């Protein structure tokens, strides 16, 4: 949707002048190209068909890179112009594609997943963490802008207003992000953790909902909070899905802080978890996890398994938590094997 909005904003320049073309492309063509270019970066999701590792390493990588953006814009523009057999449209379509790709990358940057903006020069993941991955307010604003753009094709104002509102929403969420960090810093101070690291992760339903994580060494304390409430939200048995989801977030003053640890608290469990974590085959997970925590230690008939998760993806109300990986060995002297958790009890090697 943001690709369509970006295309409508830049369309007057390419439609009216055509950038040296005898006749510029029509508005409908620009919107269609913007839609395709806006969706293009997530073509890397197909890497998941190869393996979980391929997905972790490649998703939000090359196709989301600012360095590669001109290359992808040029390729898409060439393909779209060639599909319509109008090679003179390559330059106008290049502007549309570049704008659509840029807003897609910006939209991913504000989420906590991480985007490799500097691929292929660096695999560092950048994340502003101001907005949940599925934000109803953000999507609603974008959808309203697209509908208004379709109903009022002669007007550029709906697309401009929608993008401006999206930016305003992100700025507002960024302010709430800072407030959530302050709540975490207060918790760290109360614990006497002067060297603690505080992370605020956006949560669904409201820009006031956050998970605040206080990291101290290998240990965490985290809480699901709502920055606006003074009383908990009550959700009865007949409450709707959104209200039940929203009720998990308590006022900061009444926050329920939960402990977690990268390797667990039990000394025996810590030894198993540390050994699994340090395995060379687990390097991808060490790179990907931003808030790694031990999920479980499993022991059955001599077999040992250590399962890890990233606290970023543990959302109240979510039936399954993605990106849970672990290492298992048949006995203390057997080699480790890498697994992905399937459901709560199953597993599959990769």
The DSSP code for 115 is B
Spans of the chain below 50 pLDDT: 17-22
Handedness of CA 233, 235, 239, 242 (dihedral sign): positive
3-class state of residue 6 by DSSP? helix
Rounded (to 5) percent helix, strand, coil in the chain: 50, 20, 35
pLDDT digits (tens, 9 = 90+) for 223-278: 999 999 999 999 888 889 899 999 999 999 999 999 999 998 787 789 999 999 99
Could you count the other beta carbons within 10 Å of the beta carbon of residue 330?
Answer: 13
Helix or strand (DSSP H, E) at 288:
helix 283-288
Burial profile 151-188: b = 16 or more Cβ within 10 angstroms, e = fewer: eeeeebebbebbbebbeebbeebbebbebbeebbeebb
Q: Domain segments of the chain: what residues?
A: 2-128, 176-261, 267-349
pLDDT the model gives residue 289? 96
pLDDT the model gives residue 342? 85
Label residue 114 left, alpha or beta by phi (over 0 means left) and psi (-120 to 50 means alpha). left
pLDDT the model gives residue 158? 95
pLDDT the model gives residue 65? 98
Written as six digits, the tokens of 332 are: 């203390």
pLDDT digits (tens, 9 = 90+) for 81-119: 988 677 888 999 999 999 999 999 999 999 999 999 999
Radius of gyration of the chain (CA): 23
pLDDT the model gives residue 24? 59
């Amino acid at each position: 949707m943001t690709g369509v909005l970006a295309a409508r904003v830049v369309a007057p320049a390419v439609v009216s002048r055509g950038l040296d073309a005898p006749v510029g492309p029509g508005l409908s063509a620009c919107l269609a190209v913007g839609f395709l270019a806006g969706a293009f970066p997530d073509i890397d999701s197909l890497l998941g068909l190869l393996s979980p590792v391929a997905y972790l390493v490649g998703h939000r990588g090359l196709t989301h890179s600012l360095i590669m953006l001109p290359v992808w814009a040029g390729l898409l523009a060439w393909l779209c112009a060639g599909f319509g057999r109008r090679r003179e449209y390559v330059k106008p379509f290049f502007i549309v594609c570049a704008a659509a790709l840029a807003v897609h990358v910006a939209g991913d940057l504000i989420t906590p997943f991480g985007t490799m903006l500097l691929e292929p020069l660096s695999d560092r993941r950048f994340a502003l963490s101001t907005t949940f991955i599925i934000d109803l307010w953000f999507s609603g604003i974008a959808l309203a802008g697209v509908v208004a753009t379709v109903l009022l094709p002669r007007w550029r104002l709906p697309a401009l207003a929608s993008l401006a509102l999206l930016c305003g929403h992100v700025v507002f969420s960024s302010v709430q992000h800072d407030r959530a960090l302050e709540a975490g810093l207060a918790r760290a101070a109360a614990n006497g953790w002067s060297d603690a690291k505080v992370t605020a992760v956006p949560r669904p339903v409201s820009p006031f909902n956050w998970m605040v994580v206080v990291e101290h060494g290998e240990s965490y304390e985290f809480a699901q909070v709502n920055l606006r409430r003074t009383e908990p939200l009550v959700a009865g048995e007949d409450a709707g899905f959104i209200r039940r989801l929203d009720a998990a977030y308590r006022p900061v003053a009444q926050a329920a802080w939960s402990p977690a640890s990268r390797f667990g608290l039990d000394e025996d469990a810590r030894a198993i978890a540390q050994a699994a974590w340090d395995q060379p085959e687990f390097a991808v997970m060490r790179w990907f996890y931003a808030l790694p925590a031990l999920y479980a230690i499993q022991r059955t008939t001599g077999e040992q398994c250590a399962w890890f998760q990233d606290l970023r993806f543990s959302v109240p109300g979510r039936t399954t938590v993605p990106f849970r990986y672990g290492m298992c060995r048949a006995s203390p002297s057997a080699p480790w094997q890498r697994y992905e958790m399937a459901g709560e009890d199953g597993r599959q090697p990769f």
